[in-house]
């Protein structure tokens, strides 16, 4: 069963149940009101007759003078004596059934009561009330008019219920078709995207309700998917381009070694050094590509003492670049994140500063107020290059003769944004570049 049909069926069922409940309620209420009217009339007749004097102990066959007509046209009367004998007006045939409750009223042991019975084949309402000592009066009113009204009401309610259910079914189908039009469009768009792989598909956005928001969310998802696919294509193209140069150089050097096995020792040593250097660059490039491709996957987040991470990276940089001077001022700082990725970001910033520093140069490192800074004494970053230094594979004109793939600072930006932070580059006073990595400081847990 389709969603549209299920929605229509559920809507119809709810409306049908409501109509049935309302019809039953109306019927019960009307039935009670009609019976109450009959009971009130019987009480009035009983009061009228009780005010007329008559001899309760009259001999059998005595005619009582009651202002009544024949049964079926108005009311039927019957006196019940304490012993069980009955007296009826003239020309009334048949009698009202007398039971123990009626005798209890005649003997003064019980009060008046109403009951339903059948008199002369007619369904009727009986009111039994004491009128004198040892005498009970039974007044009977036929219920045929009440039954006719109830039958007419039943027919009306039945027709109204059938009509209401029919309208509910039609309305449910219309509402479901109108309501699900956005869902149908989203489904059709998803099917087209699946078959054509064209993520430029969009769904018309109408309204600000939940279905309108669904269309907006679906379009946002398609836009994000399109951007991810385009980014992946650029990533693959850039990675292929960056890998092509070192791989070509490796192939050339290895071919020279293979074709000239008797090269002079120094020449052979230089070629092998070039090969090892290219292999290191390839390995470093592959590591950067893996880092970018991995993103948040595999993260193990938790509280990280960022000042300890920075201190460890400075120790490694001191060993890696012994000709440089690293000066640091670090304040204790705890952040929420992945320690390994944060260490990679710090190392890339230190490595970038080392690449632009002359031998004997000074690299200044600071950590305070949620901001990690690295300053070098290099040529700095031109205004033309500043907007692009954190893009993947971007290399400034001055950096094209230096080792590197142009991924280090791009990785720093991605890690910073994944941790709710940012990274930016400024000109340092006195020359050089100043890179700032800003991270949200973790709130320390309150002691209980």
Dist. CA 435–CA 352, nearest whole Å? 10
Q: Name the class of domain 301-438.
A: alpha beta
- Note the pLDDT of residue 288: 61
Instruction: Read off the pLDDT of each residue in 16-40 and give the average, rounded to a whole number.
Output: 89
Fold of 210-291: Helix Hairpins (1.10.287)
Query: Would the pLDDT of 446 be above 50?
Result: no
Q: Who wins on pLDDT, 60 or 381?
A: 381
- Note the pLDDT of residue 445: 46
CB 173 within 8 A of CB 23: no
- Note the pLDDT of residue 62: 41
Rounded alpha-carbon distances, angstroms, from residue 305 to 331, 367, 434:
10, 12, 23
Residues 85-112 pLDDT 10s: 887 766 555 677 888 888 998 888 888 9
Residues 219-236 pLDDT 10s: 788 888 777 777 677 667
pLDDT band for 279, please (50, 70, 90 cuts): confident
Angle between helices 144-179 and 3-50 (to 10 degrees): 160
Instruction: Read off the pLDDT of each residue in 59-80 and give the average, rounded to a whole number.
Output: 53
pLDDT band for 71, please (50, 70, 90 cuts): very low
- Note the pLDDT of residue 312: 92
Query: Would the pLDDT of 61 be above 50?
Result: no
pLDDT band for 371, please (50, 70, 90 cuts): very high
**Which of 204, 203, 180, 179 lies closest to 191 in space, CA to CA?**
203
Query: Would the pLDDT of 249 be above 60?
Result: yes
Instruction: Read off the pLDDT of each residue in 33-40 and give the average, rounded to a whole number.
Output: 89
Mean pLDDT of the chain: 78
- Note the pLDDT of residue 188: 75
- Note the pLDDT of residue 210: 65
Instruction: Read off the pLDDT of each residue in 163-192 and give the average, rounded to a whole number.
Output: 77
Q: Who wins on pLDDT, 398 or 113?
A: 113
Query: Would the pLDDT of 328 be above 90?
Result: yes
Q: Who wins on pLDDT, 154 or 290?
A: 154
Positive or negative, the Cα torsion across 95, 101, 106, 107?
positive
Out of 50-64, 71-85, 130-144, 190-204, the most confident range is 130-144
- Note the pLDDT of residue 287: 67
Dist. CA 224–CA 228, nearest whole Å? 6
Dist. CA 311–CA 329, nearest whole Å? 10
Q: Who wins on pLDDT, 298 or 265?
A: 265
Q: Who wins on pLDDT, 157 or 205?
A: 157
pTM exceeding the 0.85 threshold for the entire prediction: no
Instruction: Read off the pLDDT of each residue in 303-315 and give the average, rounded to a whole number.
Output: 93
pLDDT band for 194, please (50, 70, 90 cuts): confident
Query: Would the pLDDT of 192 be above 90?
Result: no
- Both tokens of 200, joined, read 């430029």
Residue bearing tokens 């205004």: 383
For 342-381, b where at least 16 C-beta lie within 10 A, e where not — what string? bbbbbbbbbbbbbebbeeebebbbbbeebebbbbbbbebb
- Note the pLDDT of residue 447: 41
For the chain, the structural domain boundaries read: 3-149, 210-291, 301-438
Residues 342-351 pLDDT 10s: 988 998 899 8
Dist. CA 7–CA 1, nearest whole Å? 10
């Amino acid at each position: 069963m389709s969603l549209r049909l299920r929605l229509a069926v559920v809507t119809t069922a709810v409306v049908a149940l409501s109509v049935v409940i309302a019809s039953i309620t109306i019927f019960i209420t009307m039935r009670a009101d009609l019976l109450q009217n009959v009971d009130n009339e019987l009480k009035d007749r009983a009061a009228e007759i009780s005010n007329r004097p008559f001899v309760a102990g009259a001999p059998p066959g005595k005619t009582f003078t009651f202002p009544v007509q024949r049964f079926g046209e108005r009311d039927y009367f019957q006196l019940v004596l304490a012993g069980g004998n009955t007296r009826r007006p003239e020309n009334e045939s048949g009698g009202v059934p007398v039971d123990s409750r009626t005798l209890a009223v005649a003997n003064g042991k019980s009060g008046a009561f109403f009951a339903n019975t059948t008199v002369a084949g007619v369904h009727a309402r009986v009111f039994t009330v004491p009128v004198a000592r040892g005498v009970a009066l039974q007044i009977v009113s036929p219920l045929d008019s009440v039954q006719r009204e109830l039958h007419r009401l039943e027919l009306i309610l039945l027709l109204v219920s059938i009509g209401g259910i029919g309208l509910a079914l039609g309305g449910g189908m219309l509402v479901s078709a109108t309501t699900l039009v956005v869902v149908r469009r989203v489904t059709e768009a998803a099917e087209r995207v699946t078959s054509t792989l064209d993520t430029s598909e969009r769904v018309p956005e109408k309204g600000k309700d939940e279905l309108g928001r669904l269309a907006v969310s679906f379009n946002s998802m398609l836009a994000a998917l399109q951007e991810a696919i385009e980014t992946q294509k650029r990533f693959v193209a850039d990675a292929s381009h960056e890998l092509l140069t070192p791989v070509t150089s490796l192939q050339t050097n290895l071919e020279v070694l293979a074709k000239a096995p008797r090269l002079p020792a120094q020449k052979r040593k230089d070629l092998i050094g070039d090969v090892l250097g290219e292999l290191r660059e390839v390995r470093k490039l592959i590591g950067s590509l893996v880092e970018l491709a991995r993103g948040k996957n595999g993260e193990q987040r938790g509280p990280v003492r960022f000042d300890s991470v920075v201190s460890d990276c400075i120790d490694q940089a001191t060993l890696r670049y012994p000709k440089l001077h690293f000066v640091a001022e670090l304040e204790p700082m705890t952040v929420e994140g992945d320690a390994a990725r944060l260490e990679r970001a710090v190392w890339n910033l230190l490595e970038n500063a080392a690449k632009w520093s002359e031998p004997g140069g000074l690299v200044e490192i600071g950590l305070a107020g949620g901001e990690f800074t690295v300053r070098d004494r290099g040529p700095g970053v031109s205004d033309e290059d500043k907007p692009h230094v954190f893009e993947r594979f971007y290399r400034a004109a001055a950096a094209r003769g230096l080792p590197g793939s142009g991924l280090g600072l791009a990785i720093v930006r991605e890690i910073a944004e994944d941790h709710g932070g940012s990274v930016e580059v400024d000109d340092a006073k006195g020359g050089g570049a100043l890179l700032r990595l800003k991270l949200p400081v973790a709130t320390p847990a309150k002691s209980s």
